[in-house]
């Protein structure tokens, strides 16, 4: 079957929303946002207001301004999460380079013997890193390539051109558990938990970078939940593993270590209060404000 639906004007889209039961108080405002945000982009945010998804009829009281409020909250949430991920990414790069250089010398990434050889993972990682190095215009990268004979620059320079996805794969690809453990110990975490969370965080980062929805999203890959430290384990919600709550809690824990005095929790709470967000859609459990990680936000 071919898709034969004709495009509709912005005004026709507003009329469609009204026919389905949504209140549109300011038509010019609605037209403006539908023009610049796209009908199908906003559709994800009015799903909770639908009484019947098959007919797209809205519940009584569904209001375009409330849909727009959810969208604005999600946009600000992505920016907050991206800022936190940047700090975590920079930290894991630094610790990876520091510990491996001290154990194996300046070029551990050129030693296949310390990396897993199942499949083509090591070769793939090395090729991707070489590609990033070739594309880099960083002065320090160009200097190292011009001056020294190795295929790739020393690890403390090379990590600076790795993406979060790449550093996650390099970390997971270390053969010896002790190598993964010495990095995870810096965060007081089990190496399997850190490996899993970095994989998950790569997905979250990509969603943010492509302006995709975080609010009420269900993740396909969920990170392994830690059993220690105790205050982190008690703060997580095993009943909602696919929602955003556990991600936010794990990020907050890591930020406590990476940048003490950060304001991530406070900013998140203020954002939720500003937009009057019911946190259940993101997997926040009942009584979450009294859980150890989040209780600290009140101090």
Q: Is the pLDDT of residue 298 over 60?
A: no
Which is it for the CA torsion 204, 295, 48, 38, positive or negative? negative
Domain boundaries, the chain: 10-62, 71-298
Distance (Å, rounded) from C-alpha 293 to C-alpha 278? Answer: 19
Note the pLDDT tens digit of each residue in 211-252: 999 999 999 999 999 999 999 999 999 999 999 999 999 999
The conformational region for residue 61 under phi > 0 = left, psi -120 to 50 = alpha, else beta, is: left
**What pLDDT score does 199 carry?**
97
Note the pLDDT tens digit of each residue in 105-118: 999 999 999 999 87
- Give the chain's mean pLDDT: 93
Note the pLDDT tens digit of each residue in 196-215: 999 999 999 999 999 999 99
Q: 151 pLDDT band (50/70/90 cuts)?
A: confident
Distance (Å, rounded) from C-alpha 194 to C-alpha 187? Answer: 9
**What pLDDT score does 297 carry?**
63
**What pLDDT score does 142 carry?**
74
Q: Of all residues in the chain, what percent carry a pLDDT higher than 70?
A: 96
Q: 90 pLDDT band (50/70/90 cuts)?
A: very high
Rounded to two decimals, the pTM is: 0.92
């Amino acid at each position: 079957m071919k898709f034969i639906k004709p495009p509709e004007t912005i005004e026709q889209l507003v009329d469609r929303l009204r026919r389905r039961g949504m209140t549109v108080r300011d038509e010019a405002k609605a037209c403006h946002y539908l023009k610049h945000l796209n009908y199908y982009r906003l559709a994800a945010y009015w799903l909770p207001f639908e009484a019947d998804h098959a007919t797209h009829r809205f519940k009584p009281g569904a209001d375009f301004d409330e849909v727009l409020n959810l969208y604005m909250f999600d946009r600000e949430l992505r920016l907050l999460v991206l800022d936190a991920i940047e700090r975590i990414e920079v930290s894991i790069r630094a610790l990876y380079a520091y510990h491996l250089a001290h154990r194996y010398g300046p070029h551990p990434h050129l030693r296949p013997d310390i990396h897993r050889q199942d499949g083509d993972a090591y070769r793939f990682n090395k090729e991707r890193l070489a590609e990033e190095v070739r594309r880099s215009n960083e002065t320090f990268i160009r200097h190292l390539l011009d001056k020294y004979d190795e295929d790739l620059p020393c690890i403390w320079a090379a990590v600076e051109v790795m993406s979060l996805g790449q550093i996650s794969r390099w970390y997971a690809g270390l053969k010896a558990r002790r190598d993964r453990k010495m990095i995870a110990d810096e965060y007081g975490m089990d190496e399997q938990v850190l490996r899993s969370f970095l994989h998950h965080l790569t997905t979250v980062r990509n969603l943010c970078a492509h302006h995709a929805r975080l609010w009420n999203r269900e993740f396909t890959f969920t990170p392994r939940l830690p059993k220690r430290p105790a205050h982190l384990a008690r703060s997580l919600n095993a009943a909602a593993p696919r929602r955003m709550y556990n991600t936010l809690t794990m990020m907050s824990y890591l930020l406590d270590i990476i940048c003490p005095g950060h304001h991530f929790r406070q900013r998140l709470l203020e954002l939720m209060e500003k937009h009057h967000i019911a946190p259940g859609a993101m997997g926040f459990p009942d009584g979450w404000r009294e859980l150890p990680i989040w209780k600290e936000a009140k101090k």
